[in-house]
Structure 1
Amino acid sequence: MISTSSWQASGLVALGGGTGALLRFHVGRLVTALVGPAAAFPWGTFLINVSGSLAMGLLAGWLTRANGGEAWRLLLAVGVLGGFTTFSSFSLETALLIERGAIGLAATYAVGSVLAGLAGLFLGLIAMRGGVA
């Protein structure tokens, strides 16, 4: 396996992350243009999360067989897909826990991540709005 220096790794992640963020922005705009800005359901984010998770599954499967996988992992998984959606990383980590037989831990991670994420968001909103909404 070819090892990457910290600077090389950072460059790969930054390049991929910027690309993923641009993809997310443009996919979101495209979906909004197709379904309309007044859609009740957040289709853009939903489609980005699902497609990012599918891409992460395909990539993880490919990386298990690829030589020089670390650079590709940094560029594509951490960078592009991390910039596109962190939900893909969440999905992969949950799936790995399930595959290892840690079903309870996977459930705790999945439910805990969603609930703690929502709690954090609401705490931030309350703090910035100056009290209970």
Structure 2
Amino acid sequence: MNWLLVVAGAMVGAPLRYLTDRAVRSRHDSVFPWGTFVVNIAGCLILGLVTGAASSHVQLLLGTGLCGALTTYSTFSYETLRLTETGAGLSAAANVAGSVVAGLGAAFAGVWIAQTVWV
């Protein structure tokens, strides 16, 4: 049963990642990978909310399934590598630092919100 929850969440997370990435990219014409940045930070916030207040089944559905398919470390790494290779080292460094700081901040904020509102 648990694996079905993960699969169901991933079936929503993967298309949501693709659509969000495309929507963000269509609004931001820059070398910086805003689409990946947005989905990763959103995933951190959602995971923080789920971790802070949800049952184990909801954590499997939303945390492992949805967030696992929504967020992407491999694309983040690839895009950072491409920025470096094309001479956009400052953007690459900003992507790494911004992703770590904003991701951790979003996760902590999600846990805090969940514990404040629902617990």
Q: Shorter-chain-normalised TM-score: which range?
A: 0.5 to 0.7
Residue-by-residue CA offset, 1:18-68 (whole Å, 9 max, x unaligned): 1100110000010011113xx2100001111111111111111112xxxxx
AA at the equivalent of 2:36: T
Q: Give the helix-richer structure, 1 or 2.
A: 2
Please report the TM-score for the alignment, with normalisation by the length of structure 1: 0.53
State how far apart, in whole Å, the 2-side matches of 1:72 and 1:57 are: 13
Report how far residue 71 of structure 1 moved.
1.2
Q: Which aligned segments of 4 or more residues in structure 1 are displaced greater than 2 angstroms? A: none
Q: Which residue of 2 aligns with 1:84?
A: 70
Computing the radius of gyration from Cα coordinates, the structure with the larger value is 1
1:27 paired with 2:13, answer no
- Higher normalized contact order (CA 8 Å, seq sep 6+, divided by chain length): 2
Structure 2 unmatched runs, 5+: 74-99, 109-119
State how far apart, in whole Å, the 1-side matches of 2:14 and 2:53 are: 23
Please report the TM-score for the alignment, with normalisation by the length of structure 2: 0.58
AA at the equivalent of 2:13: G
Aligned residues: 78
State how far apart, in whole Å, the 1-side matches of 2:68 and 2:18 are: 13
State how far apart, in whole Å, the 2-side matches of 1:34 and 1:12 are: 33
